Homo-oligomer: A and B are copies of this chain.
Amino acid sequence: MKVNSNRVENVSTHHNHVHACPETTIDAPPSTLEIHRVCLPPERSTPQKLKHRVLEIFFPDNPLHKFKNQTGLKKFLLALEFFFPVFQWAPSYRLCLLRSDLISGLTIASLAIPQGISYAKLANLPPIIGLYSSFVPPLVYSILGSSRHLAVGPVSIASLVMGTMLGEVISPVKEPTLYLKLAFTSTFFAGVFQASLGFLRLGFVIDFLSKATLIGFMAGAAVIVSLQQLKGLFGMVHFTNQMQIIPVLASVLKYKNEIGHLPKGLNPPSANMLYFHGSHLALSIKTGIISGILALTEGIAVGRTFATLNKYQVDGNKEMMAIGLMNMAGSCSSCYVTTGSFSRSAVNYNAGGQTAISNVVMATTMLVTLLFLTPLFYYTPNVILAAIIITAVIGLIDYEGALRLWKVDKLDFVACICSFVGVLFVSVPIGLAISVGISVFKILLHVTRPNTTILGNVPGTMIYQSLERYKQAERIPSFLILAVESPIYFANSAYLQERILRWVQDEEAWIKANNKSMLKYVILDMTAVTAIDPSGIELLVELKKMLERRSLQLVLTNPAGNVMEKLHQSNELESFGLQGLYLTVAEAVADISSTRKYQP
């Protein structure tokens, strides 16, 4: 048995020469009994591993790969492009693009004016703030941002969250100056938070707002806003005691202003209104973080969507820094939280916008408006603003998405409903927290109660698949082959021990009932066990002992690189030794069966 003796040697030398994996392991001619050794991953020192891990966690996009092998000047230019994407596209900007950018810029400006006014109202802010917020932030974004289609300005969700959270504590009617101060301060903190996430490469934090959470959250928020706006739509302020249809309709039809006078002139500075002390600081920070993260989620998602449609890439972390810096700049120039708006970006894209120049065009239009045209908006009727808001937010109710969740994943649907109900009846942060909690719980549940499947051989092949799913798959006499479908952690090792022992008991009962040949080997297919921790290793060792007491042998197949490494580091690898570790289930079954023939 050349193959086997070769394998013995390999296993016994595992400990000393684990990395000396030769080009060809087997010198026997290929046969059905060709057995391949399970290799350890290439040896790396702790700092090397740490570096690799940190790079994978924080720099999965390898942002510095362009800087390799470049001269000093080239590196400087690349760095400039890296920090200010405007240097990437501006030098190659051709005038023929200007026509498209001009048209799309004017189009989104025509949307941004009424939406700006409406969303500012949603945030309980003076309408002019909405116009200011469509001027400075788009200019900043056009220098720092990497998306070509994002239309920047106030958005409904962030406005709503800010209005709700600040409005719960401070009345915008009774203390308008304090309210305004807190709004700017929240915007500042939103910007700091967003920019820090990007700078610290923690962009994955927004990944924890799952689809389910967002669908539920937006629907809940939309219902709240619509209810609030009905007041405006029906002019309730003047008819609180008269609910009959005629006066209500009369009020609806009576075009009048409540907006009040819009001051002429550009954004006044507001850095002096930032508020870094006192009892409301915590509220500003909280509002900033929550409206900031929601604004970021929308902005990044919209940016990614249009980048995908146009085959370019946006860098999530860089976008976060751009959006964050734009909000920090905004908070010092009388703007509140802004981000990429989904609706206006879609319009921008459809109107043919090609580069961030459309944002510049929009900002210029806003400049002209602020300098000369604000008096025109004096007569914008409340009912139109309310209608704009309701139309905008009703579009946020994605009942089809919710139905799809119900169809595909019930627990996701529960998370969605919790988010909806929480936002509607409790508060925005609680609703979000519950929903994120459920989403995280779902991940943990999958880890805590992993699936184990019993495998069988598809006749005539080396394929081993679930007996339940593949009816043609057959049990191998004397073998119980189990696939563990999760990493093995402290959180599931006790469960897996119980579950695997139950599989063994059930199998033995089945064998007894059906008069089959006795169980002798338990094979754990470790392909899907992508990680292991000390408790997991203890489980394997413990399980091996327990099975040995029942005269059963435990065999592992195809352990992943880092699982092998940890078994090796904890000195448990050799206890599995020969015939305890194989590369594939097929090889394990073939080798063990053939060896058994020679042993009485």
Contacts and interface: CB of A to CB of B under 8 A. Distances in A.
B60 A498 contact: yes
Given A469-B42, A569-B407, A534 B584 contact: no
A469 B563 CA distance: 13
Nearest to A50: B410
A552 to B, nearest CB: 13
A443 interface: yes
B450 A23 contact: no
Contact of A490 (B439, B468, B560): B439
A268 interface: no
A583 B491 contact: no
Contacts of A25: 472
Interface stretch (A106-114, A125-133, A141-149, A207-215): A207-215
Interface in A450-480: 450-451, 453, 458, 460-463, 465-466, 468-472
Interface stretch (A33-41, A152-160, A188-196): A33-41
B469 A561 contact: yes
Nearest to A490: B210
Contact of A534 (B408, B490, B491): B408
A449 B204 contact: yes
B531 A469 contact: no
Interface stretch (A280-288, A481-489, A516-524): A481-489
B560 A489 contact: no
Contacts of A486: 530
A264 interface: no
Contacts of A417: none
B451 A530 contact: yes
A211 B535 contact: yes
A466 B21 CA distance: 13
Contacts of A542: 308
A349 to B, nearest CB: 17
A515 to B, nearest CB: 20
A231 interface: no
B495 A534 contact: no
Given A410-B50, A440-B444, A583 B463 contact: yes
A70 to B, nearest CB: 16
A270 interface: no
B409 A534 contact: yes
A98 interface: no
Interface string A567-581: 001100000000000
A311 interface: yes
A85 to B, nearest CB: 17
28 contacts: A21-B471, A22-B471, A24-B472, A30-B461, A36-B458, A36-B463, A39-B469, A56-B449, A57-B449, A204-B494, A207-B490, A207-B491, A207-B492, A207-B493, A210-B490, A404-B570, A408-B566, A409-B533, A412-B534, A439-B490, A440-B440, A440-B444, A443-B444, A443-B487, A443-B491, A463-B583, A485-B560, A528-B560
Given A57-B449, A316-B498, 17 more contacts: A21-B472, A22-B471, A34-B460, A36-B458, A41-B468, A42-B468, A210-B489, A210-B491, A308-B545, A308-B546, A311-B549, A407-B569, A407-B570, A408-B534, A450-B530, A451-B562, A453-B561
Interface of A: 21-25, 30, 34, 36, 39-42, 46, 50, 56-57, 60-62, 204, 207-212, 304, 308, 311, 313, 316, 404-405, 407-410, 412, 439-440, 442-451, 453, 458, 460-463, 465-466, 468-472, 485-487, 489-495, 498-499, 501-502, 527-528, 530-531, 533-535, 537-538, 542, 545-546, 549, 560-562, 566, 569-570, 583-584
